[in-house]
Chains A and B, each alone.
Chain A
């Protein structure tokens, strides 16, 4: 928590603290002082870059209050998205507490805390408790919650901008609404990085507070961002930036510690592998991402903080929390997709606050050069992007209701009033709440069955309670909103449990044959066998490795960025673009056309025995995805056997077995609108959404580690539940939640409407002999959505026949 010198007024500080600061030769920032002055307000938000002493700003009021009026029990709650951050903060707090000679106990409580400490914390909590949203949700589920939280004065939410972006934020605010009811005087503080709309954060934190001041700390000097000027040229397509390895190495040598960010884990692996091959000076370089084994990650984090690494190849796994030590350069490989994230990331480099942060952007392929340039412009104009926050998920509300039921009887009136105090749920209707309560109690089905086994029972007063108190344990095991994807652990093959390396997606593991190789943790491993749901591998593989797929968030280019790009094409503004890019765009113009704001460009071409259609909507990934769903449905109905599609922010690529001669005819708006709900219903995207929703709401139990070992399904697939509900109970609340979520994620049929209404009169179709320069990158996009239909049936029949013939079993 190093601070720089600033003039300040120390008279507001108690003597003890003033003396301490003088002795350490530290000074308080203006915003830290301001936080002290407004410490009595029910809520406030601080927006400050890293290195600005956000933590001290948040905790100083607590330390002072506890020093002046010692108390027993919980005084301050600190919440962060990361377990590691909680542990970090604990260390950072204990040292000034000791130096000041204060009698304040600080403890953390996360998934890693031992059960006996957790138990003791419930009966004798510390003064300051550092925790995560999930652990907090668990805490409110205990009958002794009222005792644990009595006397709570302050809640500090760190990295609130990150939490506000997901269901974890929803869950957190619900938990706080509960605690606020127990402690009406509790005050809230949100610590945030730079965001587009600060008032949104304030409303999220405290919807009913008449004034929630937003303190904006001085942002420090403007960041120094540039495109990497490389001697190599980016390839046509591909992700990964391998062409720039030599340049990246040169940058690493010229700096103390460099962070190299990638958009996906697979890209990070590939880049690291190739970087290492070129690392003739044997510089200490490591890799870090969410699918690697935890111990491995911790080693890297420790080495990084100790300044022992010259570079770390990573994904967003390093975005939050962990002290970046002496990182003095950030390299972003691949288009940043999102200006806000780039700015937040850069803000963390060189966190000696007064020095400008340095960043380099490395486009991975030719299209990305344009995208990166536009991103640079946007950063320079401080034009951050961001979609408005959707209301809180009703599935999270269901989980909250169940957790409350674990603690106490539920009075629906009281609980409804409480949850409306939570930012994301301030607009929830009584009807929606009742539907959630009904779901929690009975499942909320049109057909009423087995009344005596309902989860919650209503007593004559109208209050609800758990039918079986023992079910509380199971409900607590399912707490959380983070989705586990289908991943399998990867281990080195040894007779007795080899070293764990990390995990890969199950779908990828299913494609492996013995002898296949892939990259993980930077090394090439050879697939040996799949035993007990564990992928066993060995080292010393020399074949060219496959690209594994790991789970992980995939971001989309914001629409603001997309708009900038189109504008450049229309105005033929190629200024600032390298020569080879201009050439590429010229080639696109020659073979096909450049996309435009004035018309909708379609391309068709054959490739590898399949027919393709590209739709350049530039409508944002979500709208392009919806378009993919709708158009493939049309193609299916017309017998054109589509196989699948993939969407990016600027285009949708559809492939199938039959040639499409008149694609313009597919874009009739009324046709598309009709049956949208129906078409969406059958798709894989909806099923994935449903699975997440059903797990959070408590219909499906999480796959806990150890349960999946035998390969035998303990439960049946969520797809079966989804199909059953669609068939027999189409109005069911979980389907409604799935639809609305998918609509938000799939976004705005409105955006497609807008696109089509504006440009539908001008659809330009280019029938090409082969893939166009602009379509090429689409083939390497992840997130392909398969289409169930005649094509799949045909393929299955073909494949089955082929297998039979191969095995000599033909008949």
Chain B
């Protein structure tokens, strides 16, 4: 079980503190990961441009505000933490065309957020090529003792990844509610999807069930970062 700390050092930023491979981290209620020692903020699966992509593929014309909404939240997290390094952990764009069609005002916004910061784009499966915005573009990023990549490698340890958009269901007074969540065990952390227009995979799904060692922790996002034992499939 990962080491759960409650150090007062991190009180100014609201979140759930824990360690992974010795690194002291904070899971923010917004779904971002904060590494105070390195002033590093990590978000995953932004899926920017989803509305455009769905329209392009012949679907409905969805409200085109997801870029605005996702970037507003990112900006808020950056202001609150004063991060100096940012990692976008893959699937930052819904697909490569979405990235190429990225509206100019949004490009400028990102450029503004990038100013004075080290910005790392990790390749995802939806956006596997180089991105035409500023910052570094990498397949993986090693920052001892942690390794950042888009999709978890079961054999790895000290790994931070995204891709699965995990969500957990909690039954409250007879009513089931769903929360996007982090998944944590002693070897790895899986981030929730940060983007506004993202669906999710229930964490009792076999893939996630296998990836995270028992018992595992699900850290719910929302008004506060709430840890619960990771829900597992109910089978007799």
Contacts and interface: CB of A to CB of B under 8 A. Distances in A.
A721 B63 contact: yes
Contact of B172 (A443, A513, A716, A799): A799
B91 interface: no
B228 A724 contact: no
A580 interface: no
Interface in B154-207: 169-176, 178, 196-202, 205
A387 to B, nearest CB: 30
A796 B235 contact: no
A728 B63 contact: yes
Contact of B65 (A450, A724, A793): A724
Contacts of A474: 58-59
Contacts of A231: none
Most buried by B among A447, A449, A799, A809: A449
Interface in A175-230: none
B173 A795 contact: yes
A714 interface: yes
Contact of A453 (B61, B169, B200): B61
B60 A711 contact: no
A219 to B, nearest CB: 46
A576 to B, nearest CB: 38
A447 B65 contact: yes
Interface in A477-510: 506-507, 510
12 contacts: A443-B62, A454-B61, A471-B58, A510-B169, A712-B201, A729-B63, A797-B224, A799-B172, A804-B228, A809-B1, A809-B217, A809-B227
A540 to B, nearest CB: 14
B52 to A, nearest CB: 5
Contacts of A711: 201-202, 205
Interface in A12-32: none
Contact of B229 (A443, A701, A715, A809): A809
A449 to B, nearest CB: 4
A84 interface: no
Given A800-B220, A803-B229, A514 B62 contact: no
Contacts of B118: none
A721 B62 CA distance: 8
Contacts of A800: 170, 220, 226-228
Nearest to A452: B56
B171 A511 contact: yes
A465 to B, nearest CB: 15
A662 to B, nearest CB: 26
A701 B228 contact: no
Nearest to B174: A511
B58 A470 contact: yes
A450 B56 contact: yes
Nearest to B68: A728
Contact of A529 (B64, B69, B236): B236
Contact of B63 (A514, A528, A725, A792): A725
Given A724-B196, A809-B1, A450 B55 contact: yes
Nearest to A684: B175
Closest 4 CB pairs of A and B: A713-B199, A443-B61, A510-B176, A453-B55
B58 A712 contact: no
A431 interface: no
A357 B101 CA distance: 69
B210 interface: no
B176 A455 contact: no
A803 B65 contact: no
A115 interface: no
A37 to B, nearest CB: 50
B176 A511 contact: yes
Contacts of A786: 173, 175
A438 to B, nearest CB: 11
Interface residues of A, number: 59
Interface string B8-41: 0000000000000000000000000000000000
A41 interface: no
B43 to A, nearest CB: 17
A445 interface: yes
A55 interface: no
B99 interface: no
Nearest to B52: A450
B101 A450 contact: yes
Interface string B87-110: 000000000000001010000000
Contact of A513 (B101, B199, B226, B234): B234
Contacts of B7: none
A793 B222 CA distance: 10
B176 A443 contact: no
Contacts of B175: 507, 786
A807 interface: yes
B215 interface: yes
A175 to B, nearest CB: 22
A515 interface: yes
B149 to A, nearest CB: 21
A453 B65 contact: no
Interface in A773-797: 786, 792-793, 795-797
Most buried by B among A442, A512, A721, A795: A721
A714 B199 CA distance: 7
Contact of B236 (A515, A712, A795, A797): A515
Interface string A435-478: 00000001101010110011100000000000010110010000
A716 B197 contact: yes
Given A529-B235, A811-B6, A713 B200 contact: yes
Given A447-B64, A471-B58, A804 B227 contact: yes
Contacts of B66: 724
A187 B169 CA distance: 55
B30 to A, nearest CB: 15
A399 B107 CA distance: 35
B111 interface: no
Contacts of A701: 59-60
Contacts of B51: 449-450
Given A474-B58, A800-B220, A804-B227, 10 more contacts: A445-B63, A447-B64, A449-B51, A455-B61, A530-B233, A643-B173, A700-B60, A716-B197, A725-B65, A732-B63
B100 to A, nearest CB: 12
Contacts of B226: 796-797, 800
A530 B236 CA distance: 10
B222 to A, nearest CB: 8
A544 interface: no
B133 interface: no
B4 interface: yes
Nearest to B58: A471
Contacts of A528: 235-236
A720 interface: yes
B229 A804 contact: yes
A804 B176 CA distance: 18
A713 B197 CA distance: 11
A119 interface: no
A727 interface: yes
B176 A507 contact: yes
A698 interface: yes
Contacts of B58: 468, 470-471, 474
A455 B60 contact: yes
B60 to A, nearest CB: 5
A449 B104 CA distance: 11
B205 to A, nearest CB: 6
Nearest to A493: B236
A162 interface: no
A724 B69 CA distance: 8
B60 A727 contact: no
Nearest to A468: B58
A792 B55 CA distance: 37
B197 A720 contact: yes
Contacts of B196: 720, 724
Contact of B199 (A442, A447, A717): A717
A698 B171 contact: no
A724 B227 CA distance: 27
